[in-house]
Structure 1
Amino acid sequence: MTTTTTTGGAPAPGATAASAAEWAKLWTLRSTRTAMAAAPVVAAAAAAVFCVTMAATTGVGPADRPAFDVVTTSLLGADAAAVVLLAASAASAGSEYATGMIRGTLAATPRRGRFLLGRAAAVGAATLGLGALSALAAFATGQFVLFSSGLPVAAPGDPQVVRAVAGAALMAPFYSLAATSLAVVARSTTGGVVGALSLLALPTLVSWGPVSWRGVLLACLPGEALHSLAGLTAPGAASPLPPVAAGAVLSAWTVLLLGAAWTALSRRDA
């Protein structure tokens, strides 16, 4: 008697393998790799510009401000780095659609939710690390400006300073995940970048609205949540959100954006 054994197709990669594959792809595109590596440098350069031009742009120089004001000004450099990282993240996702590589990706990882979570994990991990480096670079640059001018510097261990730097570091992963999700929804790099930048600009636009409702809207936006986690008050907001509420708002936006990307992936062909 002979026995015939039928071998099925190769099993779909697990979550860890999917994340590893997406991590590798994230660093494959040269322009994306270069942009991501440049983010801390951009943060330091932008922080230097903001601090050095503070007197000209606001009428009050570093010598006439508390050291913490210089900290928050220098951390605008982390905002600049976040823009670089969101653009790189959108380019990585959008290039798969532009080149048709997405078809091979979904053939290798047919479970589209697993592919999306793998991409989100890779983007989140990379931009969290680079966001932290960028925030530290921006902070250090601001302190160097104070030190080189013979002015008192902020204590690095001050809880207010630590919270501000940590909050600034969270900008990059959130907006990079937003850009990735929106690039998947739009199937293009441009859609991801424009969508994420629009989300970034929303608090400023809302702050111009009537006082009667802008406070409520601001509390629902990710920009206000990020400001609150950093211990700061966004323009137009009455006071920071409690940390738990801010974390909930940020988490809800992340789930909403990834959910939109998953819906687009599951309902459309590659």
Structure 2
Amino acid sequence: MASVPAVLRSEWTKIRTVSSTTWTLVSALVVTVALGGALSAVVSSQFGTLSDMDRATFDPTYTSFSGMVLGQLAMVVFGVLVVGSEYSSGMIRGSLAAVPQRATFLFSKILVAGVLALVVGLITGFLAFFLGQALLGDHGTNIGEPNVLRAVIGSGLYMTLIALFSMGVTAMLRSSILSLGILMPFFFLVSQILAAVPGAKDVARYFPDQAGRQITQVVSGALNSTPAPYGPWEGLGIMALWVVAALGGGYAVLKKRDA
């Protein structure tokens, strides 16, 4: 019977020795920070042309996280690769032979990858915030204002949950290609489009990304978004329920099916 510390060390070795997983985390950080900074600079230069409504609902904190729409896709890839690479390479047979306790195997992988995603997510959130506020200049805010620190830390939690959700989905589908083929269009296109369609947006606001991203807002209705019927922490809780369901489904499949 493999000990938990030994399994954790093994999973850490797998992640840090695969260059693709490292680069996806770097991409998540760079894309989120760079795009958020670029959009913050554009908003700052065009602030005088904004309507009275846009100025009244302007959220400098949320603006600095604009790059997260694309940055989260790199986190999706990270989550998919952490689990899916075991199946695509055939390593899953050896892994389960070494660690026959499937709960220990899966949740050790999730714990290691989740902690790593959290660290990168928090660093990304703070970097995106401070760069964005520097570029917004007089239109920016500071970390000590009400709810701003919550939003910054929440951005890191959001990125982490995106990665965990992707791991759970991949554990269910047992394929990196299939998982990416579903998750990437869903987060990049389907969720964004449905969130803008009257009627459909009432359902889309309960999607994991739409609900979870509420934690990054300080001003309700920022960037012409429709105010949600729940608060920031409730939104993150809805996303967490999606994650629990995905991870539970992944474990059920792993436990029932052979490698």
Question: Which category of TM-score, normalised to the shorter sequence, fits these structures?
Answer: 0.7 to 0.9
- Aligned partner of 1:168: which letter? S
- Aligned partner of 1:230: which letter? T
Describe the shift of the 1:136–1:154 C-alpha distance in structure 2 as closer, same or farther (beyond 3 A): same
- Aligned partner of 1:227: which letter? R
What is the aligned counterpart of 2:13 among 24, 27, 47? 24
Residue 256 of structure 1: aligned partner:
245
Residue 38 of structure 2: aligned partner:
49
Q: Secondary structure at the match of 1:76?
A: coil
What is the aligned counterpart of 2:192 among 172, 197, 204? 204
Residue 225 of structure 1: aligned partner:
211
Tell me which of the two structures has the higher relative contact order, counting C-alpha pairs closer than 8 angstroms and 6 or more residues apart: 2
Deviation at 1:194, TM superposition (A): 3.2
Deviation at 1:244, TM superposition (A): 5.4
User: For structure 2, which runs of at least 5 residues remain unmatched after alignment?
Assistant: none
Residue 177 of structure 1: aligned partner:
164
Residue 93 of structure 1: aligned partner:
83
Matches of residues 229-248 of structure 1 in structure 2 within 5 Å? 229-231=215-217, 232-233=220-221, 237-243=226-232, 245-248=234-237
* Alignment check: 8 A CA contact 1:36 1:84 kept: yes
Name whichever of 25-34 and 123-132 sits farther off: 25-34
Residue 162 of structure 1: aligned partner:
149
Residue 106 of structure 2: aligned partner:
116
Q: How many equivalent pairs are there?
A: 252
What is the CA–CA distance in structure 2 between the aligned matches of 1:57 and 1:193, rounded to whole Å? 36
What is the CA–CA distance in structure 2 between the aligned matches of 1:66 and 1:155, rounded to whole Å? 18
Deviation at 1:33, TM superposition (A): 1.4
What is the aligned counterpart of 2:94 among 97, 104, 119? 104
What is the CA–CA distance in structure 2 between the aligned matches of 1:60 and 1:71, rounded to whole Å? 20
TM-score, structure 2 as length reference: 0.83
Deviation at 1:227, TM superposition (A): 2.8
Describe the shift of the 1:185–1:239 C-alpha distance in structure 2 as closer, same or farther (beyond 3 A): closer
Q: Does 1:128 align with 2:118?
A: yes
User: For structure 1, which runs of at least 5 residues remain unmatched after alignment?
Assistant: 1-10
* Alignment check: 8 A CA contact 1:183 1:190 kept: no
What is the CA–CA distance in structure 2 between the aligned matches of 1:35 and 1:197, rounded to whole Å? 14
